[in-house]
A and B are shown apart, each in its own frame.
Chain A
Amino acid sequence: MFESLQQNLNSALKTLRGRGRLSESNMRDGLRLVQRALLEADVSLPVVKDFMERVSEQAVGESVLKSLDPTQQLIGIVGRELVDLMGPVDHSLHLRSDVSVLMLCGLQGSGKTTTCGKLGRLIHQRGKKPMLVAADLQRPAAIKQLQVLGEQLDIPVYADLGAKDPVALCHAAVKHAKASDADVVILDTAGRLHVDAELMEQLSLIDRRIGPDQVYLVVDAMTGQDAVNSAKVFNEALELDGVIMTKLDGDARGGAALSVKAVTGVPIKFVGVGEHLDDLEEFHPDRMTGRILGMGDVLTLVEQAQQRFDHEEMAEQEARLRKGEFTLDDFKKMLGQTKKLGPMNKIMGMLPGMGAMSDMLGEVDAEKDMRRLAGIVDSMTPDERRNPSKVVDQSRRRRIAAGAGVEPHEVNELVKQFDGMADMMKRMSNMGMRDRMRAMQDISKGGMLNPGGKLSKQKISTGKRLSPKDRVKLRKEREREVRRKKREVKRK
């Protein structure tokens, strides 16, 4: 998300940084760069001007120019103002104890129906009983689309294929919900242009008749300068309670988020970040600003990890690790869990200082790598998975490679990598908490010195390397043994 904005701001601020001490004139140059960056990111012009005025006022002030690190100071100001601009935020859906009604509206193609499904899933996850209402009678097959989503999510969908009037349909739907056991009704209205007076009137009629508890505007993150125009009109017609940004998983700079919030004053509640129905996240201006300024978004990652890792599986693995058992099956499970977090470069982008790294990764398809590794493991017998370095010989290696559709050396690489990992796991299982932390630190240090390097197996005594003296002794023993055998043969 916001990565390009982040990049542009970074380069703008880097220019500032290179100049050392700031004067008022080059501070103004820097501010102009920030302004350009925001405009390139599709933040609407009025919003940019307002923003820049507030930042300039503080940035050109005396305290900044005299401070030890003016650049840091400016980053601080820009960051704070961005947080202010996008916040405060309110993630609550304000659900009532009886039946709550949520309404989604927006331009055509902004992603209302998909968001409707995602929101339903989220509410369902929180232990409520949502019901989706197909109130888009305009677009061909919109009803069918919502029905399919409902089926996938196992959430009831209220639809009436013969309906002509969305107002009456919504009315009937709410009535139906009250009669059944659903407690959250989500209305998926038809997409419409904000300049279409007739359809806007219809929308406000639904609003008046049904009186939804919450009205959300769904906005495409790729929208340009026009975002303010449409958001303003929708807000005037409906008094929005929140905004949901969609398609933030692309390289859209997402400036519309800033614009819509600034113009309507309505908080951004959620952001859509993927094709799948669980790709709806709470919007956090502070984290987002952190990302914009390259400070990473570790919190989101942790949250995702908690949500998506299978806790039981994790506990089981943990127990096995404690016992020092670590097999390729465990390794594969770990890969799978990492994958659940999302695309590798998305994860990288969330880690501090890794924004640039995820760009470098760009062309390397980490998921493909992970899939290939999993494929190799899948082609192994249970025995091979338990103890690959001992069991897998040349012929087995060839067989596994053929089964997984890879080159034999790739199998070797995996086994080597696994060896290093298993070794570490075993060592760690015998360690106390403090030693474990230290070991982790060593690993991360090593990783930094040798990025892209693999875990290597620590060299330990195999008990096989002998001193010359030992070798002489052993040879004599062997010769003695041979002589003894020869004597026995002769005697017979």
Chain B
Amino acid sequence: MGLFDKLKQGLRKTTQLLNTDIRDLFKSEGRMVDAAFLEELFETLVKTDMGVEAAQETVDQIGETFRGRVVEMADVLEEIKKYLKKLLAQPPEPIRFASTGPTVIMVAGVNGCGKTTTIAKLAGMFQADGKKIVLGAADTFRAAAVEQLTIWAERLGAEIVTGPSGSDPASVAHRAVAKAIELGADVCIVDTAGRLQTQQNLMQQLTKIHRVLGKQIADAPHEVILVLDATTGQNGISQARHFTEAVSCTGLILAKLDGTAKGGVVVAIRKRVGLPVKYVGVGEKAEDIALFKPDPFVDAMFADVG
């Protein structure tokens, strides 16, 4: 087959649509790395939700390394993974505890991203380490959000501070910290109501909660966690940016990673906002939480393509 025929074949493939599996790109004898090939690779990467920019950069990298060569799938995949792992590289980021007194953790995120469940998981994890927990149910807006956290508190046997529906969430947060100090607890986790990052007044309310948390303990909150739904697409970047602006987040927890979503948006977030991922949520039960590790995460992003 001449070079021209191969080129034509590649072009035809571009117009062939849908579900281009990365395996299709590489026939057993290997394929020429050309424009059409890179385009297909780009599409495969975009499917992970990593975003056009990150995908394009990765593809450019591959183009530089492999252009004009005939390659095997394994080589290219290895190269992509290596690049992404380097991009995401970070030491494990567990919760940093305060040297003295209770560690205050504030949890924020958009509606329905999994904040309350994530808090339950964190609390369960700390308790297993023998720590004493106080939960602050500062989601006074959504119907029955307080009850939801209360049920978790009962299941875990943790202390909880609540307020009546519609009351000022900052006051609940304040009392939660007070309670933690009074009981000599190790950790105080404050839940907040879900809010879209574009709702200015609600974001200001969040800033207020953040400020109030620092009133009793000077450097509190020690951690501000943004919970991100793994199925979220490019909107995740906007979430990370706006929440970080409002309450200077210290890290992400990627929830609901047990579905088919790859959570590739953290790649884009890492590039544009620089927020590290601390944990990943992988199920509905309290113990379904794991420390984020870039290598297995990247491997899983491409698990179904070899």
Contacts and interface: CB of A to CB of B under 8 A. Distances in A.
Interface of A: 36, 39-42, 44-46, 49-50, 53, 107-111, 138-142, 144-149, 152, 193-195, 220, 222-227, 229-230, 247, 249-253, 255-256, 275, 365, 367
A224 B235 CA distance: 8
B284 A195 contact: no
A229 B233 CA distance: 13
Contacts of A222: 110, 229, 232-233, 235-236
Nearest to A35: B52
Contact of A225 (B145, B229, B233): B233
Contact of A141 (B43, B52, B144, B259): B144
Given A108-B112, A109-B114, A223 B47 contact: no
B219 interface: no
Contacts of B200: 365
Given A39-B52, A111-B111, A226-B261, A140 B148 contact: yes
Interface in B50-93: 51-52
B143 A145 contact: yes
Contact of A250 (B18, B110, B148): B110
B282 to A, nearest CB: 11
Contacts of B232: 222-224
A147 B143 CA distance: 9
B245 interface: no
Interface string B138-156: 0001111101101110000
Contacts of B199: 249-250, 275
A-B pairs, top 6 by smallest CB distance, nearest first, are A224-B233, A109-B112, A42-B233, A145-B144, A250-B196, A148-B143
B176 to A, nearest CB: 19
Interface of B: 15, 17-19, 43, 46-49, 51-52, 110-114, 141-145, 147-148, 150-152, 165, 196-201, 229, 231-236, 238, 256, 258-262, 264-265, 284
Given A109-B111, A141-B148, A365-B200, A251 B261 contact: no
Nearest to A365: B200
Contacts of B111: 109, 111, 247
A50 B143 contact: no
B142 A111 contact: no
Contacts of B141: 275
B79 to A, nearest CB: 21
Given A141-B147, A250-B235, A40 B52 contact: yes
A110 B111 CA distance: 8
Nearest to A41: B234
B231 A226 contact: yes
A195 B114 CA distance: 18
Contacts of B52: 36, 39-40
Nearest to B261: A226
